[in-house]
Amino acid sequence: MESHRPVVFVVSDSVGETAELVARAAISQFDGGQVEIRRFPMVDSLREIAEIVEQAQRQPTLIVYTLILPEMREELRRQAEARGIVAVDIMGPMLAGLQKVLQKPPRLQPGLIHRLDEDYFQRVEAVEFAVKYDDGKDPRGCLKADVVILGVSRSSKTPVSMYLAHRKVKVANIPLVPEIPLPPEVYKVADKVVGLWVDPHKLLSIREERLRAIGLRADASYANLERILKELEYAESVYRKLGCPVIDVTNKAVEETALRVLEIIKARGGTVGD
């Protein structure tokens, strides 16, 4: 049974990151938590378009697309219109506008922006790095990272790491748990460390919601205020020992925290991507 939650379908003949970024920017102006995004990359046939539009009929859907070939754009537009589905063409108007200004036709080659695009591959490498060294999976990543993020559970380490990865920053993040010693690799790169801190009552609320989301009782020790205070006290002791900068993420969006990390990297003399 399909959900009636609003959905944005991101349809692209490449990886779809451009359309998704535009969609997320627009969603941020509303109650973003109420909208799901589904990406359909590498769409290269009219059959796939028909299947996607058919799926879109099953719940309130906005289709956002970046398709280079005119026949693909027209087919998606035609099918969406026939079914009363709102569809937004991001690439078509840009191509038409540039064609008028430059007085020459576009090359109409899907995925061209990513071919031999050094920036793109650097981003992919950084994302793969962030996934590999997420949540302390392999502390040796700290030695190769541009920045090492520390924090207790649910302090936004992973989303901040992924945001930074899309800015070509290689990030390793390590969870702070009082019963688990800090990996020795962290002490070797103390000058790369950034600590995250969050108000204990805010953290309690976040953890309770997390437990409910996965179907567990909200009174587990994970969402116990006394336990949270112990974890934060431990985190503060680690930060003092390392002498690292600390960011209070209590009321910050992931983007705000990530931009603050970028500022810290720059202040340390490091380089950051665009």
> How confident is the model over 80-123, as pLDDT tens digits?
999 999 999 998 888 888 888 888 887 777 666 555 567 777 88
Are residues 53 and 94 part of one domain? yes
Are residues 189 and 98 part of one domain? no
Q: How many CB atoms lie within 10 A of CB 9?
A: 25
Q: How many CB atoms lie within 10 A of CB 110?
A: 18
* End position of a domain, from candidates 46, 79, 114: 114
In what side-by-side order are the strands of the sheet with 171-175?
171-175, 147-151, 193-197, 246-248
In what side-by-side order are the strands of the sheet with 7-12?
36-40, 7-12, 61-66, 86-89
* End position of a domain, from candidates 114, 136, 163: 114
The count of domains in the chain is 2
Give the C-alpha distances (Å, rounded to integers) separating 257 from 3, 118, 246, 252: 32, 26, 11, 6
Residue 211 lies in a domain: yes
The mean predicted confidence, pLDDT, of the chain is 90
Question: What's the CA gap between 250 and 186, in Å, rounded?
Answer: 24
Are residues 109 and 184 part of one domain? no
* End position of a domain, from candidates 88, 114, 140: 114
Domain residue limits at 141 = 118-267
pLDDT confidence of 149, banded at 50, 70, 90?
very high
Could you tell me which residue, 121 or 26, shows the higher pLDDT? 26
Give the C-alpha distances (Å, rounded to integers) separating 241 from 5, 52, 120, 143, 260: 47, 54, 37, 19, 21
User: Would you give the DSSP letter of residue 47?
Assistant: H
Answer for the pair 2, 32: CB distance below 8 angstroms, yes or no: no
Is 41's pLDDT higher than 50?
Answer: yes
